[in-house]
Amino acid sequence: MTQPLPKKERLILELLVSEGPFYGLQLVERSAGALKRGTVYVTLGRMEAKGLVESQQEALPPGGIGLPRRIYRPTALGERMLRAWTAFARELAWEMKP
Amino acid sequence: MTTNGPRVPGTTLLKIARLLVNDHLMATVVQPTISDLQREISAAGPRRVARLRAQWRGYCAFCRVIAAAPFAAWSRPTESAGAVAFPDVVARLGVGSIVVALVAIVGPMLGPWVAVIIVAGMLLAFGLHAWYDRHPSEIPTPDEPPCQRRPQINFSCTEVAGNIGGLIFVLGSVLIIAVGLPSVIWFLFAATAAGCLVAWGLVAWHASRPRRGLPENLIELR
């Protein structure tokens, strides 16, 4: 994968790796305004298609109403991608230090 | 979800979304968004203000999701690259909006007859579409396309069968030209009558000689 990791995807991966797994709404709440509830699932869907995260539909409790939620967790590829990107960003910052 | 119990919030949004997005987007984007709305309303309990706030946030999120859905290029990862990521309704709305915008811009410059012709053309298109929806064409499809050019922009490639759909097509075309060019109306009526006579003669000739000269690909005698 040669494309850079977009900012929102990096943030989601950081949250999921450090504190996850999370539901989409929990990610929005913990992102301090960086993620919006109208677009977080579009980003998560794109990340799932890339293989960076995986999701599972929760089981509704007996008698529960409404739609089941999806819980998201990072994949091994997602964790590796985040580590590589963090190392790259750190190295780049060190190189550019005056 | 029972019919006797209280109405589950988000049910209408779910119905609207089913019309607008494909199954993959429904499962990965729309349903989780509506699920969040339901959880927040449920968590708000009986407090009216909190419930209203949760509803407002949920509806705003739903609108953003629907607006972003057509641009979610990953929405059908397993299908071909040329596949449209949103269903037919959205495509029709898009095309309809473009047509309305063009008519609004160009219409005033061309006068009322243009509007009449456009309306007549639309009625003809709807009539043809409705006819072929109810009576699917039995025209045999050739192994190789007879015309490599796209029929949408090349009138000679449009296949019209010799049935009631073809008659609607011909009469509609004549009507549109007659309305748009009133000075040639008698010529058109005479040409139509002559065309009908020639067609009747051809049908009679082919009926008497069924194996000679009958085009195999287009005309179907009924």
Do B195 and B178 lie in one domain? The reply is yes
| B112-140 residues labelled b (16+ CB within 10 A) or e (exposed) | eeeeebbebbeebeeebeebeeeeeeeee
Looking at the domain covering A7-58+67-86, what would its CATH class be?
A: mainly alpha
| φ, ψ dihedrals at B46, nearest 5° | -80, -5
pLDDT, mean of residues A6-35: 88
Instruction: For residue A53, report the phi and psi dihedrals to the nearest 5 degrees.
Output: -135, 165
Burial B144-171 (b: 16+ CB within 10 A, else e): eeeeeeeeeeeeeeeebbbbebbebbee
B11 with B102, same domain: the answer is yes
Pair (B20, B56) in one structural domain: yes
Question: Given this model, what pLDDT does residue B77 score?
Answer: 47
Q: Which chain B residues have a beta carbon less than 8 Å from that of A45?
A: 25, 28-29, 72, 74-75
Residue B36 in any domain: the answer is: yes
Highest mean pLDDT (candidates A48-62, A73-87, B168-182): A73-87
Task: Report the domain count for chain B.
Answer: 2
Task: Say if residue B30 is in the same domain as residue B72.
Answer: yes
My answer on whether B93 and B11 are in the same domain is yes
pLDDT of amino acid B217? 46
In this structure, of A80-84, A93-97, B5-9, B83-87, the range with the lowest mean pLDDT score is B83-87
Q: What was the pLDDT predicted at B196?
A: 82
Residue B58 domain boundaries: 1-107
Q: What pLDDT tens digit does each residue of chain B (222 aa) get?
A: 444 556 677 788 888 888 777 777 888 888 888 888 888 888 888 888 888 888 888 888 888 887 777 666 554 444 444 444 445 566 667 677 777 777 777 667 677 777 777 788 888 887 777 776 666 555 555 555 555 555 555 555 666 666 677 777 777 787 788 777 778 778 887 887 888 888 888 888 877 776 555 555 444 444
A55-64, A69-78, A87-96, B172-181, range with greatest mean pLDDT:
A69-78
- CB distance A49–B61 less than 8 Å? no
Query: Looking at beta carbons, which residues of chain B come within 8 Å of A24?
Result: 32-33, 36
Q: Please give the residue of chain B at the shortest CA–CA distance from A63.
A: B1
Residue B19, in any domain of the structure: yes
Selection from B99, B103, B76 nearest residue B87 by Cα? B76
Q: Is B173 on the interface with A (CB under 8 A)?
A: no
Measured in degrees and rounded to the nearest 5, phi and psi for residue A72 equal -110, 140
Return the pLDDT at A73: 92
Quick one: pLDDT at residue B99? 72
Task: Please check whether residues B25 and B61 belong to one and the same domain.
Answer: yes
Question: Are the beta carbons of B141 and B75 closer than 8 angstroms?
Answer: no
Contact A25 B39 (CB under 8 A): yes
Closest alpha carbon within chain B to A50: B74
Q: What is the pLDDT of residue B65?
A: 82
* Span A33-41, average pLDDT: 83
Chain B CA closest to residue A27: B36
> Would residue B213 count as lying in a domain?
no
Q: Are residues B102 and B9 in the same domain?
A: yes
Q: What is the pLDDT of residue B81?
A: 40
Say whether both B117 and B98 belong to one domain: no
A25 to chain B: which residues are within 8 Å by CB? 36, 39-40
pLDDT at B71: 62
Task: Give φ, ψ of B19 to 5 degrees.
Answer: -75, -25
Tell me the pTM: 0.51
What dihedral angle (degrees, nearest 10) is formed by the CA atoms of A77, A82, A85, A89? -170
Contact B65 A38 (CB under 8 A): yes
Task: Say if B197 falls within a structural domain.
Answer: yes
Read off φ and ψ for residue A56, nearest 5 degrees.
-140, 140
Using an 8 Å CB-CB cutoff, list chain A residues near B42: 66
Look at residue B177 and tell me if it is in a domain.
yes
Please indicate whether residue A75 or residue B153 has the higher confidence score (pLDDT): A75
Q: Chain B partners of A47 at a C-beta cutoff of 8 Å?
A: none
B115 & B200 share domain? yes
- Residue ranges of domains in chain A: 7-58+67-86
Q: Is A38 an 8 Å CB contact of chain B?
A: yes
Please indicate, yes or no, whether residues B123 and B168 belong to a single structural domain of this protein.
yes
